[in-house]
Amino acid sequence: RRTPVARQEDGSYVISTYRELADILHNPHLSSDVRNMSHPMPSAEGATTPSFINMDPPEHDRLRRIAMRHFGPPHTPGLVTAMEPALTATVGGLIDDFTGKEQIDIVDDLAYPFPVTVICHLLGVPREDEPRFRVWVNGLINAIDYDPRTDPKEKLENGVQARKDLHEYLGGLLAQRHGRPGDDLLSRLANDDGPDGRMTDEEIISTANLLLIAGHETTVNLIANGMLTLLRHPQILERLRGDPDLIVPLVEELLRYEPPVHIIPWRAAYSDVTVADTVIPKGSQIMLMLASGSRDPDRFHDPDRFDPDRRDNQHLGFGSGIHLCFGGPLARREAQIALGELVRRLDRPRLVADPPPYRRSPVLRGPIHLLVE
Ligand code: HEM
């Protein structure tokens, strides 16, 4: 509250209040293009074509529009409704597999395998390749972690190598789609001759890369954070058992209270930008503390309280502006189904360790394991 805009020692700026974040997310003088940044993400370093999350208009808009013709709104609500039986069956199967076990790991047994299965199916990535791409995705995410036990140079090198390996892998899958298109997203992007023209192979690969990572790493955390929050609020868990419709506002509140994406680290000022009376000089890198904005007491009453009855819950969990997450409808439904079924089927679940171990990422927040008995 006292310092909505803070300058860090390395010259970058941190914005942490709701009003300033909501404004800046719509400011056209801010760039998301990692090629403009002093500290580019390892996920983009060496990439000839970053994915559109790290691009500015007009390139961003063209690629987002093409991708949205197949996935984003207005298609997503229909797509998600059509997928509903498969989503429920996948969750049901995973719960069947661990029913009867004395102890389960919510992350390994459900929160991770569920969204991975879904995004693999949507994209046309073989599910059995998961152990291969898990290593690369982890390499990319760990490259920006704050684990003091690991060497930063080594992490960066691993991140760059992981990006290359993932790129090569997706390129191989795309090559198969050129001749024999199927009904998956990779095939549809490879054969789309819509009004915005066809994406190049490089563009399809970076889009697939984005969807693969964005499509599961975040949802894993929403489900795991959700179960943890429910176990810490047993009265709300009981209410949900008796009133399954509560799951809709409850997931919305989770996105505010325990959001999977805490920080957007990739913004830079195209020109001098004034935020809350502070001039951020042209070229500065800017970190957006979304999670902090969603707990701003000037915007949310009693912000540290988990309250699924909260009204007007316009959190920043999916960002805002031109980069607003277009996986929101899918992620919400996945979390609603997973948490709804867990609560319905687990008999008096109890946390084994609180707090659980967390991923040491400044960007993504969620437990790496969540043991329940
Ligand atoms: C963008 C969060 C799930 C695809 C974003 C952004 C946030 C976010 C904060 C904005 C980034 C920025 O402004 O730079 C989340 C959370 C999720 C989730 C919390 C789960 C709980 C998904 C899913 C998909 C997806 C399931 C796709 C299958 C995308 C894409 C973008 C994006 C493509 C980039 C949009 C653009 O640059 O125009 N997400 N996301 N996300 N997300 Fe998600």
Q: Please tell me if the CB atom of residue 366 comes closer than 6 angstroms to any atom of ligand 1.
A: no
Q: Per residue in 58-94, pLDDT tens?
A: 999 999 999 988 876 556 667 888 899 999 999 999 9
Question: From the CA of 45, how far away is ligand 1's center (Å)?
Answer: 20
- Least confident interval from 118-122, 133-137, 185-189: 133-137
- Sign of CA pseudo-dihedral 180, 81, 328, 304: negative
Query: Cα(224)–Cα(307) distance, rounded to whole angstroms?
Result: 18
pLDDT for 38 beyond 80? no
Q: Which CATH number fits domain 44-267+327-372: 3.30.420.40, 3.50.7.10, 1.10.630.10, 1.10.10.60?
A: 1.10.630.10
Could you write out the three-class secondary structure of the chain? CCCCEEECCCCCEEECCHHHHHHHCCCCCEECCHHHCCCCCCCCCCCCCCCHHHCCCCHHHHHHHHHHHHCCCCHHHHHHHHHHHHHHHHHHHHHHHHCCCCCEEHHHHHHCHHHHHHHHHHHCCCHHHHHHHHHHHHHHHHCCCCCCCCCHHHHHHHHHHHHHHHHHHHHHHHHHHHHCCCCCHHHHHHCCCCCCCCCCHHHHHHHHHHHHHHCCHHHHHHHHHHHHHHHHCHHHHHHHHHCHHHHHHHHHHHHHHCCCECCEEEEEECCCEEECCEEECCCCEEEECHHHHCCCCCCCCCCCCCCCCCCCCCCCCCCCHHHCCCCHHHHHHHHHHHHHHHHHHCCCCCECCCCCCECCCCCECCECCCEEC
Nearest CA to ligand 1 atom 39: 325
Which residue, judged by its Cα, is nearest atom 6 of ligand 1?
A: 325
Evaluate: CB of 114 within 6 angstroms of ligand 1.
no
For residues 155 and 363, give the distance between their C-alpha atoms in angstroms, rounded to a whole number.
16
Q: How far apart are CA 147 and CA 346, in angstroms?
A: 34
Radius of gyration of the chain measured on its C-alpha atoms: 20
* Separation of alpha carbons 328 and 301, rounded Å: 24
**Considering the chain, what is the average pLDDT of its residues?**
91
Query: How far does residue 219's CA lie from ligand 1's centre (Å)?
Result: 10
pLDDT at 141 (0 to 100): 79
Average pLDDT on 92-110 reads 96
**CB of residue 225 inside a 6 A radius of ligand 1:** no
pLDDT band, very low/low/confident/very high, at 39 (cuts 50, 70, 90): low
285-335 pLDDT, tens digit per residue, is 999 999 999 999 999 999 999 999 999 999 999 999 999 998 999 999 999
Rounded to the nearest angstrom, the distance between the alpha carbon of 193 and the centre of ligand 1 is 25
Assign 183 a pLDDT band (cuts: 50, 70, 90).
Answer: confident
On the 0-12 / 13-18 / 19+ scale of CB atoms within 10 A, 191 is exposed
Please tell me the predicted confidence (pLDDT) of residue 123.
Answer: 92
pLDDT confidence bin for 178, thresholds 50/70/90: confident
Q: State if residue 159 touches ligand 1 by the CB under 6 angstroms criterion.
A: no
Q: What is the residue with the minimal CA distance to atom 42 of ligand 1?
A: 325
- Which ligand 1 atom sits nearest the alpha carbon of residue 332? 21
CA of 365 to the centre of ligand 1 (A): 14
Alpha carbon distance 234, 36 (integer Å): 47
Dist. CA 360 → ligand 1 center (Å): 20
Instruction: Return the residue whose CA atom lies nearest to atom 30 of ligand 1.
Output: 325
Listed by start position, the domains of the chain span 44-267+327-372
User: Which pLDDT score is estimated for 43?
Assistant: 47
Nearest residue (CA) to ligand 1, atom 38: 323
Is residue 64 lining ligand 1, measured as CB closer than 6 Å?
A: yes
Q: What is the pLDDT of residue 155?
A: 79
**Nearest alpha carbon to residue 218 among 292, 114, 342:** 114
The CA dihedral of 101, 102, 108, 110, to the nearest 10 degrees, is 60
Is the ipTM higher than 0.95? The answer is yes
pLDDT digits (tens, 9 = 90+) for 239-258: 999 999 999 999 999 999 99
Give me ligand 1 centre to Cα 208, in Å.
13
Tell me how crowded residue 103 is: count the other CB atoms within 10 A of its CB. Answer: 11
Q: Report residue 31 as tokens.
A: 């760039």
Mutate which of 63, 325, 330, 333 for ligand 1? The one with the most ligand atoms within 8 Å of its CB, which is 325
Asked which of 42-46, 240-244, 280-284, 327-331 is least confident by mean pLDDT, the reply is 42-46
Q: Enter the tokens of residue 219.
A: 């949802």
Tell me the pLDDT band of 40, cut-offs 50, 70 and 90: low
CA distances to 93, 96, 117 from 341, in Å: 11, 11, 17
Confidence of residue 1 (pLDDT cuts 50, 70, 90): confident
Ligand 1 site, residue 214, Cβ cutoff 6 A:
yes
Which pLDDT does position 368 carry in this prediction?
95
**319 in contact with ligand 1, CB cutoff 6 A:** yes
- In this prediction, residue 339 has a pLDDT band, given cuts at 50, 70 and 90, of very high
Q: Whose CA is nearest to atom 2 of ligand 1?
A: 318
Q: For the CA atoms of 58, 59, 60, 65, what is the dihedral angle to 10 degrees?
A: 90
22 pLDDT more than 90:
yes
Burial group, residue 131, by CB count within 10 angstroms (0-12, 13-18, 19+): exposed
Going by CA atoms, what residue is nearest to atom 26 of ligand 1? 215
Give the global pTM: 0.94
| In the chain, % of residues over pLDDT 70 | 94
